[in-house]
């Protein structure tokens, strides 16, 4: 049963993430904004308009007072929930299609064919995972097994050991798929 419908964006919502306490949601949109909402009331808390291109990924900072957002502008923006003001930029070599925070780490999947891991609080790069033949579009992290996975435009899934960065396995998830750009 639908309990709430939020209609604040003017274009597609491309990603959404919960705050750790479950009280807020942040959304990313093709309308070039990211928005934080009160998850119970559906009320808009703040809009971030610092991206000049569509926003594709969002994640809350571990402390919940800031948000990471990414997109076609080849940057990750870190901004404050209280006022929507940018506190930092992290530049990338390509459009960032997926942004994921797990614990103290942020993972990205991007057009430069890599998955990157960095510390959420300091932005210090931890590791870059290469192996995608084309755009890396998705990423996931499993904390218990310390595995990082990516899925890409080439139809393949790659899995790495997050502790040493070495490949564990890769496989074709879409047999016969031939990407057309």
CA-closest candidate to residue 105, choices 123, 132, 87, 78: 123
For 42-83, what is each residue's pLDDT tens digit?
Answer: 899 999 998 999 999 999 999 899 999 999 999 999 999 999
Cβ partners under 8 Å of residue 140, min gap 6: 100, 148, 149, 150
pLDDT at 138 over 80: yes
CATH architecture of the domain covering 13-128? 7 Propeller (2.130)
- Confidence at 146, pLDDT banded by 50, 70, 90: very high
16: exposed, middle or buried (Cβ count in 10 Å: 0-12, 13-18, 19+): middle
Q: How many other β-carbons are positioned within 10 Å of the β-carbon of residue 9?
A: 19
> What percent of the chain is predicted at pLDDT more than 70?
95
DSSP bridge partners of 79: 67, 86
Comparing 15 with 180, which gets the higher pLDDT? 15
pLDDT of residue 68: 96
Cβ–Cβ under 8 Å, residues 66 and 87: yes
Domain boundaries, the chain: 13-128
Mean pLDDT of the chain: 91
Model pLDDT, residue 181: 59
Q: What is the pLDDT of residue 4?
A: 65
What does the pLDDT average to over 149-178? 90
β-pairing verdict for 34-38 and 86-91: unpaired
Q: What is the pLDDT of residues 11-45, one digit of tens each?
A: 898 999 999 999 999 999 999 999 999 999 989 99
Instruction: Measure the CA–CA gap between 139 and 134, rounded to whole angstroms.
Output: 14
pLDDT of residue 5: 72
């Amino acid at each position: 049963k639908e309990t709430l419908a939020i209609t604040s964006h003017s274009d597609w919502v491309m990603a959404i993430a919960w705050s750790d306490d479950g009280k807020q949601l942040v959304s990313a949109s093709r309308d070039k904004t990211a928005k934080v909402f009160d998850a119970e009331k559906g009320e808009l808390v703040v809009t971030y308009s610092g991206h000049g291109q569509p926003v594709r990924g969002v994640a809350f900072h571990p402390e919940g007072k800031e948000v990471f957002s990414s997109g076609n502008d080849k940057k990750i923006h870190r901004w404050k929930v209280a006022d929507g003001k940018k506190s930092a930029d992290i530049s990338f070599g390509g459009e960032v299609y997926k942004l994921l925070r797990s614990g103290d780490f942020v993972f990205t999947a991007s057009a430069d064919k890599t998955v990157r891991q960095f510390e959420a609080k300091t932005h210090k790069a931890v590791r870059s995972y290469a192996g995608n033949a084309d755009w890396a579009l998705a990423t996931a992290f499993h904390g218990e097994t310390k595995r990082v996975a990516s899925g890409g435009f080439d139809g393949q899934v790659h899995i790495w050991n997050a502790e040493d960065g070495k490949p564990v396995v890769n496989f074709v998830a879409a047999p016969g798929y031939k990407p057309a750009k």
